[in-house]
Structure 1
Amino acid sequence: MAQKPMTKTQLVATLAERADLDKKTAAAALDALTGIVTETVAEGGAVTLHGLGKFYCRERPERMVRNPATGEQIKKEADRVVKVTVAKALKDSVNE
C-alpha cells in the first residue's frame, strides 16, 4: 500500500533531527535550498544533488497538439519545462 507523501513540516522535523538543528534553522535551510534550485533552473542552469538527481530546464519547440475534448488541432507555442533525471543511487535504493 502506498504511503502518503511526506509534508514539508515532516521533512523539516526529520532534517532538524538528523542534522542536530532546531526546526527554525532546518526550515530556513530547506527554503534556501529550494530558492537556489528554483533560481538556477529558471535562469537555464542545472543543479545536481548527489544521490537525488539533476534538475534542469529544457526548451520545447513549437508544435501541434490536440484538444482532447473537441479533437481540434491547436498550434502550441515554444516553451520551457523543468526536467528531473533521477540519480542511479536513488533508483537502486528503491529496487533493493
Structure 2
Amino acid sequence: MAINEREIRIRFAPPATDPVRLAIKARIAEAAQHLALTIHELVPGSREESEAITHLEMATGWALSGVDRRFAPRGTREPQPGEAGDGAAPGSP
C-alpha cells in the first residue's frame, strides 16, 4: 500500500491508555508522527521511504511498550530483583 499523510497519522496516533501514561505516550507518538511526515515530505516515494517509516513505526512501538512495562510514577520505583513484589523468590537470580 502506498503511504500517504492520512496513513501516517493513523499509524502514529497515540494509543488509548491510562491517564498517567497518556501524556508520555502522546509526546512519543507526536514526535514519531512529525518525523514520519518529514520523511514522507523529503524522501522520494521509494523502498527507502517505506523502510524508514516502517522502522520508525517499530521503534515507536517499542518505546510505547517500554512506557507500559517500565514506567513508575515520580516518587516510586520498580522492585529490584529479589525484592518483594517482583515474583522472584528472595535470593534467586
Q: TM-score, normalization: structure 2?
A: 0.32
Structure with larger RCO (C-alpha < 8 A, sep 6+) = 2
Q: TM-score, normalization: structure 1?
A: 0.31
Higher strand content, 1 or 2: 1
